Amino acid sequence: MQFDDTASGYLTGQLLVAMPRLNDPRFERSVIYVCVHNADGAMGLVVNRLADEMTFPDLLGQLGIEAGPAPIALPVHVGGPVESGRGFVLHTSDYRQGSTIQVNDEVSLTATIDILRDIAEGSGPRQALLALGYAGWGAGQLDGEMQQNSWLTVAPDETLIFDRDLARKWERSIAKLGVDVALLSGEAGHA
């Protein structure tokens, strides 16, 4: 199943970049990869915020998964405030299993323990981002936030999604649009 809805006006497969004046501390300066956006709502993962108290080896230990001979240093992200105990792996589409959701040609999403085992054994995807929780919007909610000038949309690339320079990912995402951060306003324009 593929969810690339961008041609129909939906934001599946795009990055949402929080505007500077977004008044929700959970999403301040966040960059979110939109995994699904359709008439029923939207779901995405914050790609620039680490979980402070959880490491990949800790998570593997809690799940009873043995790490392979070469330990994988996979950071654990806070994917959003919804279902923060549930894990999601956003990854390159070179990896696939029965429950993998293909977002577009380059990126897929898998939310099973099997992908964690494969990553721990060194047989997972080429690039991966592990997130606990997700960002979710009900029907029309994200559309309303877009109209309120809460988010910018940016075409993603593998570096923005998967690299580990989280401290600058927000600025780099905005710079990809050719916009100076200092000139951004959280106010919507009205004629």
For 59-90, write each residue's pLDDT tens digit: 998 999 887 776 678 899 999 999 998 999 99
1 vs 34, higher pLDDT: 34
For residue 28, name the pLDDT band (cuts at 50, 70, 90): very high
Q: Is 59 among the domain residues? A: yes
Eight-state DSSP code of residue 123: -
Q: Is 138 among the domain residues? A: yes
pLDDT given for residue 110 in this prediction: 97
Task: Return the CATH number at 107.
Answer: 3.40.1740.10
The count of domains in the chain is 1
For residue 154, name the pLDDT band (cuts at 50, 70, 90): very high
pLDDT at residue 15 is higher than 90: yes
Q: Is 191 among the domain residues? A: no
Domain of residue 115: give its range: 6-183
Eight-state DSSP code of residue 181: G
Q: Is 1 among the domain residues? A: no
pTM: 0.88
- How far, in Å, CA of 135 to CA of 88, rounded? 12
pLDDT at residue 2 is higher than 90: no
Looking at the chain, list the stretches that DSSP marks H as alpha helix, in order from N- to C-terminal side: 56-63, 113-120, 141-147, 158-162, 169-175
